[in-house]
């Protein structure tokens, strides 16, 4: 069959018959299984073009009315076309043909012409459903019903009594009307129209319910189709009709009666869920008896869950759904639950019934209900009220032994701290016992890990309850001797070794000072017992070391208690470190690493406990340095972390210098030697001793720089000598003890950085310079072949884990023929270690700040050595650089110890070049992947790694660029301290002042009422009435606040070159094909637009102070040119999908398709993630412009309507840009603008109108008649 002619030949209403024939022919072609692909494609294109044809509505109505001639599938499609035309505004209420369509559709029901024989039972159900959707769409969009069509409802009620099919169609009509009002497409309606329809459904619901009861119970009882339609109607009306209205009509009894019907059981449970999974406080107040009766009925239904033995799948599903219903009811009605003890008892009884159900999955759902009920029954005193005694459990609350372990399957962190009578250890032991055989089952993997996590949450929530903590410690003290005596026996009836260690890790770290002296002393005794216990195997010792690494907070609490009682040191600290040092000295490599990791954790978490024994600890550890080579860096990190306990700059600096002096003395000559031409390549291919030494030093320096932290409290900074004498706001505010070492190491880092990337370019398209062909080929076998760890990192970074491929590629790059495989493998590992730790060491050096940011040669290094590594690196190595170096320095909390002037100069020196180089390099990588001839050939892993690495690097780059515009805007806490301000009095620059909003009041004049200094948006005054602060980055009312001193947005938006570079980076990333990068870039562009429109103060949304600012109109033009124009261009030309046969398609093809494809939700099409992202980016711009336009009109004393937009250039140009979108026109934009300026429309309505415009422009064409959510 051929499909034709083309639509252009059928252009008038007179040709609608021919068009109808072609539509029927095309649908039949699509339905026929024998149709060839070419013909099917032509038919599909024909169908998709129908939306724009002027005669499509007339043809579809003609087909819909041809009950005898048209096949059911064709009529179904015709009704879809009619519904779509009504929803999209192509059937206007005032047109004569619309009245004809209304009359025709109603007559199909009133005169039974929907069926050729007059018997509606002959019409297939799917056609009937689509017919009611078309009738509902015409009634909503193309009439003034109910006011302009008052007879319709009565006519429907009368005709619905003729047969069960008539009644089903009437109920489906009202269900579809309610569904249409809740969809996105309803944004096309005016606010008044939408409210009128909702009010009519709400006000006339009793009349509708009477009709429902009549046809279901009296006229046509026992009809499955009618019962289903009634249940679906009740479910849909729940969104607009209060629960008490359903109860008045006794519909709860109707639903309860249908619960036994398997055919509609799921719909009945959904109806109950829609009733109760929302706040019903008003219903409880106005109809208390009926509401309690309903809730009692629901809770009593759970009594059937006590049946013994195996139940069928249907019973399981309904019981699980009922458990979810009870859970959602509790979540949505917490205030009512707290006020009504009878409601607590009912819900508790229901949860207990579910907990006895013979399915662990149902128990999972029900167990989350119990903590909520307990919290309501045993509420905590509110803040500000006097401390009162814990409430006694009510009479109905009796936790039974068999139910206790099941509570560990719930979100137990919600349990109130007054819940001391619950035996946590016993419940944990029993929970581990009853789930020991479930952990490996396919439907419940990791159930015991979940229980262990619940125990951690529980102990954290109950840490301030002395009775609970002490009881747990005593239980462990009694239990552990038996466990340690026979750790190999993991009997099901008793707590095993691993489970006991988990409990230790949950209880001991949560011992606080508030737990009481008795609990703290018991914790010390328990630690001593754990240390002294002999263990038979290395695996048991490893678990003990892991636990000891988590005991740091408890040791610090012991030190605090000892100091209060006059004890100089913690008795357990010396035996603890003796044990750790003994393992480090004589243990296996694995145990040595665990002991070193525990040392680091304890040194960081227990400064008060370490301070009295610091000197002895350092001396013992320093003696071990020479005996361990591979783990030197871990011991260095532990020693530097321990030194911070001194809280004395001179002492910490002396320790660092003494510790690292030998390493620094090796570093200079070593890097000078390795920087010589050919030295690195010769070392890799020959003697690797110098490379090994460089790797070891990099590890040590990076560890020391990370561990060398400065105090955060101003008094400790002053007392410890960390403050910089004579600070002039041009350098660091707080001195770092590692500054001297970092300053000495930095030049060597720069020379090694440059030499390394020159010698080992990892880009497949680059060859090492200055080498003969044979030597270069040998070097490429190392530099371009990824090491196993790199392949594993690339594999685990995918959206869907590719462990199977990682295993298959365990050796993706075999050594070249004739080479020693072990030596090649060791060389690749060494090269990867050098590269990654070179980046980490540089990032850690930047985090030291003192001595690095003030280094006289840093500016030259930033413009040369530290940027050259981006040009010749594999995209995965680009990602390593971005994450290890630049995300450290430019993180939201980065460089807080530096003055604003120093932060600004560093950003100005680094960011423009970094953004340009990284964006250019990534653009080159994407260009290669788009062009098949440019993709690396040969090893398929190399191609796959290039794709995945490019995706990873793009995401990290966009993360960095977005963070720069989203976080920051006020001076750092250290600078505020140094300048003597607490609220941000001084320390601003002239550039920042230009972005500052003018103060809404005179200097020194306080605002009435609430203090709005952090969120009001005006200029903040210092205590002495000084100048303005840096711009605040939002506020508590939706502006998007950042904490003081965090981020670089204040610098970015006051430095033109930096702002241009960051904006260019975000716009460049909009062209890349990775959906996650694109989505994050849209968020970043939105933040940039709001920053520009708010003068740099907010990044999420504008506030009133920004809208009324005198410069607001000019800022709109800036946001329009910098952000809105590129976004509209992106909509016009989005990134193309990756080729279906390339490696890039394998990596991101499915996510890309999902990102640009609308999702179907409950039979309706939701916007694609791309459309939602673009809408989110444009929304604050358009909303802000409209608000500013309203303010401008108010000042000019003119009405803010669409006719005045010509006097507001920014909004006028924005409308023109939106009108240029695909499937958009001036009329549609005018409708959007009218909605945006309508004072009666809420934000949801306005946002829905914008979303409809954007989704029409960027989403694929919906199938004709497809309903949009």
Kindly state the average pLDDT of the residues 1154-1176: 83
- Residue 898 pairs with which residues in a beta bridge? 732
Residue 639: pLDDT band with limits 50, 70, 90: confident
Predicted local distance difference test score (pLDDT) of residue 1162:
60
Predicted local distance difference test score (pLDDT) of residue 1256:
85
| Number of CB atoms found within 10 A of residue 1076's CB | 16
Predicted local distance difference test score (pLDDT) of residue 426:
66
Under DSSP, is residue 1160 helix (H, G, I), strand (E, B) or coil?
strand
- Is residue 10 predicted with pLDDT exceeding 50? no
DSSP 1165: E
Give the residue carrying structure tokens 């050939």: 937
Predicted local distance difference test score (pLDDT) of residue 356:
67
- Is residue 1042 predicted with pLDDT exceeding 80? no
Please tell me the distance from the alpha carbon of residue 840 to that of residue 883, in angstroms, as a whole number.
9
Kindly state the average pLDDT of the residues 1111-1133: 88
- Is residue 220 predicted with pLDDT exceeding 90? yes
- Both tokens of 604, joined, read 């960081």
Question: What are the DSSP calls for 26-75, one per residue?
Answer: HHHHHH-TT--HHHHHHHHHHHHHGGG-TTHHHHHHHHHH-TTTS-HHHH
Please tell me the distance from the alpha carbon of residue 104 to that of residue 87, in angstroms, as a whole number.
18
- Residue 734 pairs with which residues in a beta bridge? 723
- Both tokens of 763, joined, read 């880009």
| Number of CB atoms found within 10 A of residue 756's CB | 20
Q: Which comes out higher in pLDDT, residue 956 or 68?
A: 956
Predicted local distance difference test score (pLDDT) of residue 206:
93
User: What are 927-954's pLDDT values in tens digits?
Assistant: 888 776 545 455 677 777 888 889 999 9
Predicted local distance difference test score (pLDDT) of residue 409:
44
User: What are 1063-1079's pLDDT values in tens digits?
Assistant: 999 999 999 999 999 99
Please tell me the distance from the alpha carbon of residue 1129 to that of residue 1258, in angstroms, as a whole number.
11
H/E segment holding residue 1159: strand 1159-1161
Predicted local distance difference test score (pLDDT) of residue 801:
42
Kindly state the average pLDDT of the residues 259-279: 85
H/E segment holding residue 1164: strand 1164-1166
Phi, psi of 850 (to 5 degrees): -60, 125
Least confident window among 218-232, 277-291, 789-803, 1220-1234: 789-803
Please tell me the distance from the alpha carbon of residue 157 to that of residue 159, in angstroms, as a whole number.
6
Predicted local distance difference test score (pLDDT) of residue 694:
93
Q: What is the mean pLDDT of the chain?
A: 78
Least confident window among 858-872, 897-911, 1033-1047: 1033-1047
Residue 730: pLDDT band with limits 50, 70, 90: low
Residue 454: pLDDT band with limits 50, 70, 90: low
Q: Which comes out higher in pLDDT, residue 82 or 1202?
A: 82
Cα 1111 → chain centroid? 35
DSSP 829: H
Phi, psi of 118 (to 5 degrees): 85, -5
- Both tokens of 652, joined, read 């910490």
The share of the chain scoring above pLDDT 70, in percent, equals: 78
Least confident window among 428-442, 640-654, 798-812: 798-812
Q: Which comes out higher in pLDDT, residue 1156 or 988?
A: 1156
H/E segment holding residue 974: helix 973-978
Predicted local distance difference test score (pLDDT) of residue 798:
52
Q: Which residues contact 956 (CB under 8 A, 6 or more apart)?
A: 879, 882, 883, 887
Q: Which of 417-421, 425-429, 456-460, 635-639 has the highest mean pLDDT?
A: 635-639
* In contact, 120 and 108? CB cutoff 8 Å: no
User: What are 83-113's pLDDT values in tens digits?
Assistant: 988 888 888 888 888 888 999 999 999 998 8
Please tell me the distance from the alpha carbon of residue 708 to that of residue 440, in angstroms, as a whole number.
44
* In contact, 68 and 138? CB cutoff 8 Å: no
Predicted local distance difference test score (pLDDT) of residue 218:
92
Kindly state the average pLDDT of the residues 774-794: 75
- Is residue 158 predicted with pLDDT exceeding 70? yes
Predicted local distance difference test score (pLDDT) of residue 981:
38
Q: Which of 248-257, 309-318, 1146-1155 has the highest mean pLDDT?
A: 248-257
- Is residue 524 predicted with pLDDT exceeding 80? yes
Residue 807: pLDDT band with limits 50, 70, 90: very low
Under DSSP, is residue 558 helix (H, G, I), strand (E, B) or coil?
helix
User: What are 564-605's pLDDT values in tens digits?
Assistant: 888 878 888 888 988 988 888 888 888 988 988 898 888 888
Cα pseudo-dihedral 731, 735, 739, 743, rounded to 10 = 10
Kindly state the average pLDDT of the residues 1079-1088: 90
User: What are 1186-1233's pLDDT values in tens digits?
Assistant: 988 888 888 888 888 878 888 888 889 999 999 998 888 888 888 888
Please tell me the distance from the alpha carbon of residue 78 to that of residue 128, in angstroms, as a whole number.
12
- Is residue 1082 predicted with pLDDT exceeding 70? yes
Predicted local distance difference test score (pLDDT) of residue 572:
86
Instruction: Pick the closest to residue 984 from 1038, 1036, 1043, 1051 (CA basis).
Output: 1043
Provide Rg for the chain, Cα atoms: 36
Kindly state the average pLDDT of the residues 890-919: 89
User: What are 367-415's pLDDT values in tens digits?
Assistant: 677 767 767 776 655 544 444 455 566 766 655 444 454 455 444 444 4
Question: What are the DSSP calls for 729-760, one per residue?
Answer: SSSBSB--TTHHHHHHHHHHHHHHHHHHHHH-
- Is residue 1029 predicted with pLDDT exceeding 50? no
Give the residue carrying structure tokens 């129209």: 193
Phi, psi of 675 (to 5 degrees): -75, -10
Residue 237: pLDDT band with limits 50, 70, 90: very high
Predicted local distance difference test score (pLDDT) of residue 398:
55
Residue 657: pLDDT band with limits 50, 70, 90: confident
């Amino acid at each position: 069959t051929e499909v034709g002619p083309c639509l252009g030949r059928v252009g008038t209403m007179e040709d609608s018959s021919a068009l109808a024939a072609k539509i029927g022919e095309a649908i039949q072609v699509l339905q026929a299984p024998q149709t060839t692909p070419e013909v099917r494609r032509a038919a599909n294109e024909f169908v998709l073009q129908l939306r724009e044809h002027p005669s499509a509505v007339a043809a579809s109505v003609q087909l819909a009315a041809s009950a005898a001639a048209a096949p059911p599938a064709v009529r179904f499609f015709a009704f879809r076309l009619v519904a779509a035309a009504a929803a999209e505004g192509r059937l206007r209420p005032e047109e004569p043909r619309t009245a004809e369509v209304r009359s025709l559709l109603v007559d199909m029901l009133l005169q039974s012409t929907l069926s050729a024989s007059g018997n509606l039972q002959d019409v297939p159900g799917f056609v009937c459903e689509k017919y009611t959707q078309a009738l509902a769409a015409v009634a909503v969009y193309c009439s003034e019903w109910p006011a302009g069509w008052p007879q319709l409802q009565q006519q429907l009620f009368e005709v619905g009594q003729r047969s069960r099919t008539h009644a089903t169609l009437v109920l489906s009509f009202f269900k579809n009307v309610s569904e249409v009002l809740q969809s996105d497409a309803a944004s096309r309606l005016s606010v008044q129209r939408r409210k009128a329809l909702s009010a009519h459904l709400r006000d006339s619901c009793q009349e509708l319910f009477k009709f429902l009861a009549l046809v279901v119970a009296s006229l046509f009882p026992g009809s499955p189709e009618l019962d289903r339609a009634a249940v679906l109607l009740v479910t849909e009306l729940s969104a607009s009709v209060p629960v008490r209205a359903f109860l008045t009509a006794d519909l709860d009894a109707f639903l309860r009666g249908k619960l036994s019907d398997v055919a509609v059981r799921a719909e009945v449970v959904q109806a109950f869920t829609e009733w109760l999974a929302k706040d019903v406080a008003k219903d409880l107040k106005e109809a208390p008896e009926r509401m309690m009766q309903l809730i009692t009925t629901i809770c009593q239904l759970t009594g059937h869950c006590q049946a013994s033995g195996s139940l069928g799948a249907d019973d399981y599903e309904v019981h699980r759904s009922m458990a979810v219903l009870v859970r959602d009811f509790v979540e949505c009605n917490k205030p009512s639950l707290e006020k009504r003890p009878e409601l607590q008892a009912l819900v508790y009884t229901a949860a207990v019934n579910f907990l006895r159900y013979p399915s662990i999955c149902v128990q999972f759902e029900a167990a989350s209900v119990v903590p909520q009920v307990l919290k309501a029954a045993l509420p905590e005193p509110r803040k500000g009220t006097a401390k009162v005694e814990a409430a006694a459990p009510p009479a109905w609350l009796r936790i039974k032994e068999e139910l206790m372990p099941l509570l560990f399957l719930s979100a137990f962190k919600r349990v109130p701290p007054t819940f001391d009578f619950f035996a946590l250890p016993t419940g944990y032991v029993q929970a581990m016992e009853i789930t020991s055989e479930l952990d490996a089952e396919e439907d419940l993997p990791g159930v015991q890990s979940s229980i262990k996590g619940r125990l951690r949450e529980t102990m954290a929530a109950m840490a301030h309850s002395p009775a609970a903590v002490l009881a747990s410690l005593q239980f462990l003290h009694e239990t552990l001797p038996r466990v340690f005596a026979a750790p190999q026996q993991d009997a099901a009836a008793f707590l095993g070794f691993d489970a006991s260690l988990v409990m230790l890790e949950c209880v001991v770290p949560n011992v606080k000072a508030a737990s009481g002296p008795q609990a703290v002393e018991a914790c010390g005794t328990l630690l001593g017992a754990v240390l002294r216990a002999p263990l038979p195997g290395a695996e048991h010792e490893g678990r003990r070391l892991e636990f000891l690494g988590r005991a740091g907070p408890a040791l610090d609490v012991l030190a605090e208690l000892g100091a209060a009682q006059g004890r100089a040191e913690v008795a357990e600290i010396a035996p603890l470190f003796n044990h750790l040092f003994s393992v480090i000295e004589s243990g296996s490599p694995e145990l040595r690493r665990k002991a070193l990791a525990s040392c680091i954790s304890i040194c960081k978490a227990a400064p008060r406990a370490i301070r009295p024994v610091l000197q002895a600890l350092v001396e013992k550890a320093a003696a071990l340095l020479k005996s361990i080579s591979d783990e030197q860096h871990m011991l260095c990190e532990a020693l530097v972390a321990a030194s911070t306990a001194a809280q004395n700059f001179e002492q910490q600096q002396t320790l660092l210098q003494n510790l690292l002096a030998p390493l620094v003395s090796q570093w200079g000559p070593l890097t000078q030697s390795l920087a010589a031409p050919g030295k690195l390549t010769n070392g890799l291919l020959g003697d690797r001793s110098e490379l090994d030494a460089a790797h070891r030093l990099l590890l040590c320096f990076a560890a020391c720089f990370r561990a060398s932290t400065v105090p955060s409290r101003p008094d400790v900074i002053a007392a410890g000598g960390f403050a910089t004498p004579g600070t002039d706001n041009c350098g660091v505010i707080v001195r770092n003890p590692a500054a001297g070492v970092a300053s000495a190491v930095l030049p060597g880092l720069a020379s090694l950085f440059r030499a390394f990337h020159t010698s080992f370019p990892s880009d497949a398209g680059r060859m090492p310079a200055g080498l003969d062909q044979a030597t270069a080929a040998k070097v490429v076998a190392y530099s371009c072949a990824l090491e196993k760890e790199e392949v594993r990192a690339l594999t685990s970074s995918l959206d869907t884990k590719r462990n199977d491929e990682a295993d298959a590629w365990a050796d993706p790059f075999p050594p070249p023929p004739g080479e020693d495989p072990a030596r090649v493998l060791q060389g690749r590992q060494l090269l990867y270690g050098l590269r990654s730790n070179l980046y980490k060491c540089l990032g850690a050096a930047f985090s030291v700040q003192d001595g690095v940011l003030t280094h006289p040669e840093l500016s030259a290094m930033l413009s040369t050595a530290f940027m050259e590594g981006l040009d010749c690196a594999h995209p995965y190595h680009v990602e390593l650089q971005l994450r290890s170096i630049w995300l450290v320095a430019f993180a939201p909390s980065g460089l807080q110890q530096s003055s604003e002037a120093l932060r600004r100069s560093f950003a100005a020196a680094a960011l423009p070049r970094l953004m340009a180089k990284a964006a250019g390099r990534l653009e080159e990588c994407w260009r290669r992947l788009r062009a098949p001839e440019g993709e690396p050939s040969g090893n398929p892993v190399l191609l796959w790694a290039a794709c995945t690495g490019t995706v990873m690097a793009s995401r990290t780059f966009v993360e960095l660029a977005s963070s720069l515009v989203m976080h920051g805007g006020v001076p750092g806490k250290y600078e505020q301290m140094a300048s003597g301000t607490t609220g941000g009095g001084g320390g601003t620059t002239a550039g920042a002042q230009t972005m500052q909003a003018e103060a809404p009041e005179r200097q020194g004049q306080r605002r009435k009422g609430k203090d709005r200094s952090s969120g009001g948006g005006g200029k903040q005054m210092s205590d002495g009435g000084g100048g303005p602060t840096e711009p605040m980055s939002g506020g508590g009312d939706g502006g998007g606040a950042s904490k003081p001193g965090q981020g670089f947005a204040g610098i970015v938006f006051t430095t033109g070159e930096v702002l241009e570079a960051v904006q260019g980076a975000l716009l460049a990333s909009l062209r890349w094909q990775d959906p996650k990068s694109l989505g994050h870039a849209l968020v970043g562009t939105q933040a940039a637009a709001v920053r520009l429109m708010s003068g740099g103060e907010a990044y999420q949304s504008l506030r009133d102070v920004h809208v009324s600012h005198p410069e607001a109109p000019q800022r709109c033009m800036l946001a329009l040119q910098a952000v809105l124009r590129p976004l509209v261009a992106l909509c016009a030309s989005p990134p193309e999908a990756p080729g279906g046969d390339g490696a890039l398609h394998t990596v991101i093809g499915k996510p890309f398709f999902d990102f640009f494809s609308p999702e179907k939700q409950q039979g309706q099409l939701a916007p694609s993630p791309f459309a939602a992202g673009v809408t989110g980016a444009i929304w604050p711009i358009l909303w802000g412009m409209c608000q500013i336009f309203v303010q401008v009109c108010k000042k000019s004393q003119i009405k803010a309507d669409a006719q005045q937009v010509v006097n507001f250039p920014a909004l006028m140009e924005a409308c023109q840009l939106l009108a240029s979108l695909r499937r958009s026109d001036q009329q549609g934009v005018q409708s959007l603008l009218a909605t945006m300026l309508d004072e009666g429309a809420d934000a949801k309505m306005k946002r829905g109108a914008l979303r409809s415009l954007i989704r029409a422009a960027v989403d694929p064409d919906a199938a004709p008649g497809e309903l949009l959510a």
